[in-house]
Each structure stands twice: as C-alpha cells, then as structure tokens.
Amino acid sequence: MKKEYLAKMFDHTYLKAFASKKDMEKLCQEAKMINCKMVAINSCQTKLCKQLLKDSDIHVGAAISFPLGQTTIETKLFETKDAIENGADEIDYVVNLTKVKDHDFDYIEDEMRQITKLCHDNKVICKVIFENCYLEKEEIIKLSEIALKVKPDFIKTSTGFGTSGAKVEDVALMKSIVKDEVMVKAAGGIRDLETCMAMIKAGASRIGTSSSLKILEELDNVNAD
C-alpha cells in the first residue's frame, strides 16, 4: 500500500483530558506533515484546530459525549451543534450504553437519527461509536442493523478509553452487516502496521490512532525492503 493512501485513512488522534494548546499545535503540525484525513480531538479544541488547519484539507473531528456516552440526546445534540458551529467537519459520538444494555433500541435509533440528521443537514460526517468492549455480539449486531437503517457515515468500534480497543473480529462483524451502505472505523489500541492492516483487511475504511507517524514509518521500512 502506498504511504499517501494509508495516511488518508488515518484520524490522527489526541484525546487526553490534559491536552494543551501546545499538544494541539503538535497534533495539527503532524497531521499536515503526513496529510491524514482528520484530527480527532475533544470538542473544546475544535475552534483552535480549525484555525491551525485552515490552509489544509484535513478535517477537524470532534468527539461528542466522550468517552462514556452517558448524556441525554438533547445534551449530545447541543454539543454536536456547538462543535459544528466551531468548525467541526466530522462528529464521533458515543451511544448511550445504558440504553444498549437495557435493550432500549428505540431510544438508540432515535438518538442516532437525530444526531445523524443534524450532521447531514450541516454537511458534516457522522460516526457512531459503539464501545464494543462492553457489548455482547448480539448487541453489536443490533447496533449495526440500526445503523444500516439510519445511515450515519460510519460506525466505530471503540473510544480507546474502554477496557479494550478495536478487534479484527468486531470490524468484520460490523462490516458484514452494513456492507457498503455504512463505513466502519476501527479505533483503540492500533499502534503498529500489522494491526492496522488487519483492521483494513477486515473492512475498516478509517483508522483512529495516535500512532500514525510510527505506523507510516513502519510502512516506509516495508516498502524499502
């Protein structure tokens, strides 16, 4: 795989609670250096990153209700609207996991429809984070089936803050249900080229990682050989 192609699959990520302006400047500088698709940041950093990336085509992606997802639909909508107004090109929101575990899938579908509509009305990409480490296989299937009906742009494996991150088998399962109607993003624990390529082979169209530079360096070494 060409380095430029792989870089455009990366959401270059810095979501730590203590992220400083200096950290955001470094993140955006790295993003421009590798020409990735997006920087993934907490929503309060949206306006700053939009300014830092103003002379590039790199998207700013705001994490909503992150990392727990335990806020009301109204709160998520407000945070999404605020992020969009501050320049977000993409939204990654966490589903309400309590409602998933209660199997209140009508609530989950309503939440997904409202947030997806708000994003699409503003020509913004919408990604739905499942946090698979807390879910049973049947719950991952059900969420994927809801997404197939609602049509957000992506469904996503993980926040990276749960008990585990992306798993190849989960990516393959999600992709088997949504097929080409919705894309799959793998995130959480993707720190090397081998893992990254396994996720792509399983069906991921986007990779969320803070190890973008390391992975691309590994690819350079492979291509050199």
DSSP letter for each residue of the chain: --HHHHHTTEEEE---TT--HHHHHHHHHHHHHHT-SEEEEEGGGHHHHHHHTTTS--EEEEEESTTT--S-HHHHHHHHHHHHHTT-SEEEEE--HHHHHTT-HHHHHHHHHHHHHHHHHTT-EEEEE--GGG--HHHHHHHHHHHHHH--SEEES--SSSSS---HHHHHHHHHHHTTTSEEEEESS--SHHHHHHHHHHTEEEEEES-HHHHHHHHHHHHH-
Tokens representing 152 are: 């957000």
Catalytically active residues, by annotation: 92, 156, 185
Q: Are 221 and 192 in contact (CB under 8 A)?
A: no
Q: Are 44 and 83 in contact (CB under 8 A)?
A: no
